[in-house]
Chain A
């Protein structure tokens, strides 16, 4: 897929565990795992906003476009 999810990188930078982030943004660990693995087909603005708020970053830090 052309859109890469760099959530792992941001989590490592902020030293936050996936489980903790899932709790903060109020989604299940399974759903966060789907997002991290790139299997997700879409992301809600509300989820993106919550992630950016929790990790103190911009959407571009999490999502990246790569030309296939």
Chain B
């Protein structure tokens, strides 16, 4: 009963995270489009995100950084969506099913892709910022272990499916 309630609360927060991240990536994309015509918009793309220096230095580099950031938040939103799906498919009476396994694997891969994207983004920003003494806005990339742990859990779920089906076929 407690677990079911906890899962409902988690689902609610996952929806919040999903919507919030979609708004975040959408807002950055929107202000980026505005900043094409007026460079002043790049001073505050979203909640104080200032890429004015990059915009003035090179529009192509600036666009690349925006692309990374939108991509990062979009992947995060996708992960939040997968978590919602996972919580919807999770049946506590029969927790081991193929959908849960597939979703956990997809979450693990998505976190891994997010990590790669974050590394590329950080390397690019650091390269430019150090060279031209710009302000650095980096993205945390400490979550690669999370991807590995979720992948291991996905494998445990896979074994659980085998055991559960064997148990169901024991007469």
Give A residues with C-beta under 8 Å from B: 27, 31-32, 34-35, 39-44, 47
Contact = CB atoms under 8 A, between A and B. Distances in A.
A61 B142 CA distance: 62
Contact of A27 (B165, B166, B171): B171
> For B165, B166, B171, which residue has the most chain A Cβ atoms within 10 angstroms?
B171
Contacts of A39: 169
Nearest to B170: A42
A27 B171 CA distance: 8
B170 A44 contact: yes
Interface of B: 165-166, 169-171
Nearest to B166: A41
Given A32-B171, A41-B169, 20 more contacts: A27-B171, A31-B171, A34-B169, A34-B171, A35-B171, A40-B169, A40-B170, A40-B171, A41-B165, A41-B166, A41-B170, A42-B166, A42-B169, A42-B170, A42-B171, A43-B170, A43-B171, A44-B170, A44-B171, A47-B171
A40 B167 CA distance: 10
Contacts of A34: 169, 171
A6 to B, nearest CB: 15
Contacts of B171: 27, 31-32, 34-35, 40, 42-44, 47
Contacts of A35: 171
13 contacts: A32-B171, A34-B169, A39-B169, A40-B170, A40-B171, A41-B169, A41-B170, A42-B166, A42-B170, A43-B170, A43-B171, A44-B170, A47-B171
